[in-house]
Amino acid sequence: MARRETPEINAGSMADIAFLLLIFFLVTTTMNVDSGISRKLPEPPPADYKPPVIKQKNVFDIVVNRNNQLLIEGADFIKVKELKDLVVAFIDNGGGIGNPMDGEPAAECDWCNGEKDALSSDHPNKAIIQLQSDRGTSYGMYIAVQNEIEAAYIELRNKYALKKYRTSYTQLQKDMKDAQGSAAKEAIKVKIDDAKKHYPQIIAEPEPIK
C-alpha cells in the first residue's frame, strides 16, 4: 500500500476566526471599575439609648434644601466650593479640650493648626458635622456635599500624616495596597489608623426634612 501523506490543514483562516472572536469580546467587555464614596453607617442604637449632650459650638450644621441650596450654621448661604475650607477650619480649630484618647487625660489638640476660636469646635474628636438634607434634595447635590466633607477630612489627615510620618495619608493608603507581606501591611495600617484617630470622621445625618 502506498502511504499517502496527509495534506497539511490550511491555517490561513485561523487568524480571521480569532479576529472575529476577538472583536466580539472587545465589544461586549465592560471594564467598569466600580468606585465610589464609601461610608460606614452608624450602628442602630439600643432601645434605651440616651443621646449625649453636645455643645452647639461643636456641631457644624449644614442644611441642604430642596432647591439644592446650602445653609451653614443657620446663617450663611454658601456655594459647594466654599464648603471644604469652612469644614477644615471648623474641625481643625482646636479651641478647647477634647475627649480623652488612649486612656490619657483629656487634653488640648496639639496637632491642630486652627485659630483656636473659643466659639468654634473644641477638638477634632468632638467636632461633629451635621448634614441635614431635605427629601427633595437631588442626589447629585448630596454627593457633592459628601464629597466636600470627605475632601476636608482627607486634607487634614494628609497634613497630619505628612508632618508625623513624612508621607501623606493618601500615599499611605496607596502604599498599603502595594505592600507585600502582612508585617509591612500592619506597619502602614498603624500609621493610617493613627491619622484616622486624630481626625475621626463624625458625620451625623438626622432625619430628612419632609
Could you tell me whether strands 59-64 and 70-72 are parallel, antiparallel, or unpaired per DSSP bridges? antiparallel
C-beta of 26 vs 53, nearer to another protein: 26
Phi-psi region of 196 (alpha: psi -120 to 50; beta: other; left: phi over 0): alpha
Nearer to another protein, 78 or 106 (CB): 78
Closest approach of another protein to the CB of residue 177, in Å: 9
**Among the listed residues 109, 116, 84, the one whose alpha carbon sits nearest the alpha carbon of residue 197:** 109
CA–CA dist 65, 136 (Å, integer): 8
* Distance of closest approach, residue 57 Cβ to another protein, in angstroms: 27
Minimum distance of another protein from residue 129's CB (angstroms): 14
Return the SS3 of 131: strand
Locus of grid cell 479576529: 19
Closer Cβ to another protein, 101 or 176, answer by number: 176
In the bound state with another protein, the residue whose beta carbon lies nearer, of 5 and 43, is 43
CB of 147 to another protein, least distance (A): 4
In the complex, what is the shortest distance from the CB of residue 14 to another protein, in angstroms, rounded to a whole number? 4
Q: Measured over all CA atoms, what is the biggest interatomic distance in the chain, rounded to whole angstroms?
A: 108
Minimum gap (Å) between residue 128 Cβ and another protein: 18
Residue numbers of the site for another protein (CB under 8 A)? 11, 14-15, 18-19, 21-22, 25-26, 28-31, 33-44, 64, 68, 80-81, 133-144, 146-148, 150-151, 154, 205, 207-208
3-state secondary structure of 130: strand
Which residue's CB is nearer to another protein, number 200 or number 208?
208
Closer to another protein by Cβ: residue 116 or 171? 171
d(CA 160, CA 141): 29
Per-residue b or e along 163-193, where b marks 16 or more CB atoms closer than 10 Å to that residue's CB: eebebbbeebeebbeeeeeeeeeeebeebbe
